[in-house]
Amino acid sequence: MPRVAMLGIHHLEHCLLIETRSDPHPWGRVNWLRSLRDDHCLGYWQDNELLAISAYTLVLDEVSLLNIVVDTDSRGSGVGRHLLTEGLEWMQQFGGQRCLLEVRVSNTVARALYSKLGFAEDGIRKKYYPLGDGHEDAVLMSADLPLL
């Protein structure tokens, strides 16, 4: 049975494993350690296996999606959408009224999901993400909560 649950520092190695398998430029140990300690991190579990992870921060009434990663074997199954919507519903309980995020220009799957959920493109952050020997732009997106 799938479930979404909070993650803690004891999940660090799981987060690093999913991240390094799924992202050519993963967050490092320090980033995940800081988020697991200081931010709101959630995981999507199926049959006691962690399939996706997300990290959010809240400043006043603004939620920032810091990271969301779906294990490569679970992509396209709705896991990411479920984790994101559950996570943002959870953040509303802490006063979140709006969500901001950045996404790689080339990540058309994620951009389509965010748009489908009601996120609007607000601008471009030039050369934000590392990309091989260069950098890639980020699309800035935002949505009012609750999502559609």
Asked if pLDDT for residue 58 goes beyond 70, the answer is yes
pTM for this predicted structure: 0.92
Output the pLDDT for position 148: 66
**Segment 120-148, tens digit of pLDDT:** 999 999 999 988 788 999 999 999 999 86
Choosing from 19, 44, 56, 114, which is the catalytic residue? 114
**Segment 7-45, tens digit of pLDDT:** 999 999 999 999 999 887 889 899 999 999 998 999 999
Q: Is 102 a catalytic residue?
A: yes
Share of the chain above pLDDT 90, in %: 83
Choosing from 102, 128, 129, 136, which is the catalytic residue? 102
Confidence of residue 88 (pLDDT cuts 50, 70, 90): very high
Q: How far is CA 56 from CA 20, 29, 114, 132, 136, in A?
A: 19, 17, 15, 26, 22
Count of domains observed in the chain: 1
Residue among 42, 44, 45 nearest 91 (CA): 42
For residue 9, the enclosing domain spans 3-144
- Beta bridge partner(s), residue 4: 44
Q: Is 86 a catalytic residue?
A: no
The CATH number of residue 46's host domain is 3.40.630.30
